[in-house]
Amino acid sequence: MKKRVVITGLGLATPLGLGLEENWQRALAGESGIRHIAYPWADKSLIRAAGELKESDYKRILEEFPEEAEAEGERRTLFALWAAKSALNDAGLLNNDVSIKDCGIIFAAGLGINRLEDIQIWTGTDGKFDYEKFGRECSMLHRESAMRNNSSRPSSLIAKRFGLHGPNSTITSACAAATQAIGIGFRTIRRGEADILIAGGADSMINPLGLITFLLLKAAAISSEPPEEICRPFDRKRAGLVMGEGAGIVVLEEESHAVKRGARIYGELAGYGTSMDAYQVTAPHPDGRGAEQSMRAALKDADLNPDEVDYINAHGTGTKLNDAAETLAIKKVFKDHAYNIPISSSKSMIGHLIAAAGGPEFVYTALSVNRDEIHPTINLTNPDPKFDLDYVPNIKRIKTVRAALSNSFGFGGQNATVVVKKYGII
């Protein structure tokens, strides 16, 4: 017997804010969290805007975790701690008699930060990296350096902070990572290997080397328009992805465990599908084959027919290739019903959180199912004739959502889809 998995806690740290309700109301209102990059000399860069957390919100996180802020200092790890505590609090698992020592963590994190100063300090006059000098002076590494913070740092620190001794894994599969982490967590509980765990992701690549990477890949939006208007998923004038940062974490529980402790249930995590394009590292398959396979697998896993899906939270990056491939894949999977499904992109408001992208997007999907509200895709003002589906342009939608999909498609060809159903629907 497959155990049923329910959603009992949600936690966020995004450019829209730190609170769950704050995030949701701003998303429904179509507010943008994308702003001018705070780095010095960013006005001289080709990339001038990103979905950065507000400075006041980051200070709140530092104040909440002063010990970790002093010892660690890495942004994505601090985002992860905030979102984890928020989700555990939301699930009613902190400061009560419920034991969470057996709670596990399946978490997504991106690459650490390669600090330019760490490269410059140990570069000799010949322009080559001085490995011997670095070996003698490596204690001088910047505390945010990738060499001090590997990808598993957030999950291990969350476990330490909250005393979580259950399964602990880190996923680093690019833009599909957080959705894959949630999917793996779902399967872990469904197999009976855990009663409760937290899953999601945290990332921040808003740094010089992180930004230049996507510029060199020709995937980043370059525009002098106001920052809140740059990210344009599914729009004819879409110009590329806009980087974001933050975290999104969910508490997953085996149904009887949640019911026994009287937990509030947002919905049921009912299915998970994943695939590999096996096509090209920096581009999706033009026929959307991987995305199609991922969605079909998730529907089959959830035992759902395509016409039972009422909403799709799209990967929706705003790049020329992704939006076209995802639209084509949706049409292949849902056929005529594709034209009846509202589809929206959270990235239009918070940017692309890379490894963490699927975390906040899953939270928004769960809220859509729970509350029968759908946030819009903003900046969709120039319809593309090739994109003839319902992308919920600019204004929120009130609609009964029996079941919804959340898609994440990553660099390297990774694809992941999860299905959320209203709790109680058989």
Q: Is 175 a catalytic residue?
A: yes
Q: Which of 175, 231, 285, 375 is catalytic?
A: 175
The distance from CA 227 to its chain's CA centroid, rounded to whole angstroms, is 21
Is 306:329 a contact under the CB 8 Å cutoff? Answer: no
DSSP 3-state assignment of 385? coil
DSSP codes joined into one string, 278-311 = -SBTTB--TT-HHHHHHHHHHHHHHT--GGG--E
| 3-state DSSP helix/strand/coil % of the chain, to nearest 5 | 40, 25, 40
Q: How many CA atoms lie within 13 A of 128 on its CB side?
A: 4
Give the Cα-Cα-Cα angle 236, 419, 259 (nearest 5 degrees): 145
Q: Which of 103, 231, 285, 352 is catalytic?
A: 352
Is 72:28 a contact under the CB 8 Å cutoff? Answer: no
Q: Which of 103, 231, 285, 315 is catalytic?
A: 315
| CA–CA distance, 113 with 409 (Å, rounded to integer) | 22
Burial class (CB in 10 A: 0-12, 13-18, 19+), 382: exposed
Ramachandran angles phi, psi of 356, nearest 5°: -90, -5
Q: Is 142 a catalytic residue?
A: no
Q: Is 337 a catalytic residue?
A: no
Catalytic site positions: 175, 315, 352
